[in-house]
Amino acid sequence: MSATFMDRLVDRIARRPGGMIGRLLYRHPAGHKTSFDMTLDALGPTPDDHLLDLGCGGGVFLERVLKTGASAAGLDHSPDMVDESRRRNAAACAAGRLTLCQGDVGRLPFPDGAFTRVTALNAFFFFPDPQAAVAEMARVLAPGGRLAIVTTPPEQAAALKRYFGPVASRMRLDAPEVLGDWLRAVGLVPGTVRPVRAVGYLITARKPVMPATTGAVIEMPGFHGLITGRIGDLLVVEADVTGAIPAHTAQGAELVVVLSGELHARVDGTERVLRQGEHALIPAGASHGATVAGPTRLLLIGPPE
């Protein structure tokens, strides 16, 4: 068999599924059930969410998302898969809860910040330009939104070859560390990496509400901050505070150091006065806010909000 024929075969059954074979394979993708279950558990879509699924295939995952009450959109570069997704979810399409289109994951036809959830499940290894796709996912994800990708690492290459033969040789296998670096490069904060039985791994990420790049300015009433560096996934912020900081929830543990002035910090209802040179550790999930006794300068180390 020639390489040209093999490429056409792989396209037909995996990379760009189509025709009767493609429709049958992705009408009931039993091998993807575990990854669908894990993704729904990780992202927890609600009726307030708008989810985009890239490489949506036959629309089985979208059907499950719609059952949570969320609205959704799906994109696939196979017109047959778009048609199959539309057939499966016809009622949701008619009601305006689901939008489907054929397109390129490297040039998404959606505006900035259009979605609160973005997924790419069991398809990322076929995306021709993975970094462009990640950048587009970050662009259409709203601040505070979350992303999930299910893909396969290089160490599973031998097993893939045994089970999937020529399909495996045409898949790009990315290590979680590499994918994590691509996510950070576009301002996302990688979360957990969990193994998915017989598939690979699930990696999640979130888009911070505040900017996550060195040199970015954070402006709020009574608060002027400058991101001066990073320690791993943590931001280092120097801030001048002249007013009250409203109560908010810590996304992760935060260290607060008073460089000058006096800070009256409230953490889960308990107040503590911090003066120059003193510090406090805010636990992840804690509700905290503060007032100041005159202009106060702080050093903050923590995750992007």
Say if residue 58 is in the same domain as residue 153. yes
Q: What CA–CA distance (Å, rounded) separates 254 from 120?
A: 31
- pLDDT, residue 8, reads 55
> What does DSSP say about strands 50-54 and 71-76: parallel, antiparallel, or unpaired?
parallel
Q: What CA–CA distance (Å, rounded) separates 179 from 266?
A: 38
Residue 212 counted as domain residue: no
What residue numbers bound the domain in which 280 lies?
217-302
Residue 294: CA atoms inside 13 Å, Cβ hemisphere, count? 7
The CA–CA distances, whole Å, from 143 to 105, 115, 218 equal: 20, 9, 14
Whether 238 contacts 297, CB under 8 Å: yes
Helix (H/G/I), strand (E/B), else coil: 185: helix
* Best CA proximity match to 156, nearest among 145, 171, 146: 171
First to last CA, the chain: 54
Q: Which one-letter amino acid corresponds to residue 228? A: T
Over residues 265-301, the pLDDT tens digits come to: 999 989 999 999 999 999 988 888 899 999 999 999 9
Q: Give the residue-averaged pLDDT of 133-143.
A: 95
- pLDDT of residue 14 exceeding 80, the answer is no
Q: Which residue has the higher pLDDT, 146 or 14?
A: 146
- pLDDT of residue 30 exceeding 60, the answer is no
Q: Could you tell me the sign of the dihedral formed by the alpha carbons of 223, 227, 231, 232, in that order?
A: positive
Say if residue 62 is in the same domain as residue 144. yes
CATH code of residue 225: 2.60.120.10
Say if residue 25 is in the same domain as residue 151. yes
Q: Give the residue-averaged pLDDT of 127-156.
A: 94
- pLDDT, residue 1, reads 42
Over residues 41-80, the pLDDT tens digits come to: 999 999 999 999 999 989 999 999 999 999 999 999 888 8
Residue 269: CA atoms inside 13 Å, Cβ hemisphere, count? 0
Say if residue 228 is in the same domain as residue 173. no
- pLDDT of residue 172 exceeding 90, the answer is no
Q: What CA–CA distance (Å, rounded) separates 146 from 101?
A: 22
> What is the share, in percent, of the chain residues with pLDDT greater than 90?
63
Predicted confidence band of residue 168 (pLDDT cuts 50, 70, 90)? low
Say if residue 33 is in the same domain as residue 179. yes
Phi, psi (rounded to 5 degrees) for 38: -65, -40
**Domain count across the chain:** 2
Predicted confidence band of residue 226 (pLDDT cuts 50, 70, 90)? very high
Predicted confidence band of residue 2 (pLDDT cuts 50, 70, 90)? very low
- pLDDT, residue 117, reads 97
Say if residue 98 is in the same domain as residue 240. no
Say if residue 42 is in the same domain as residue 162. yes
Say if residue 230 is in the same domain as residue 90. no
Over residues 246-261, the pLDDT tens digits come to: 887 787 889 999 999 9
Both tokens of 231, joined, read 């320690």
Residue 69 counted as domain residue: yes
Whether 32 contacts 121, CB under 8 Å: yes
> Percent helix, strand and coil across the chain, each rounded to 5?
30, 35, 30
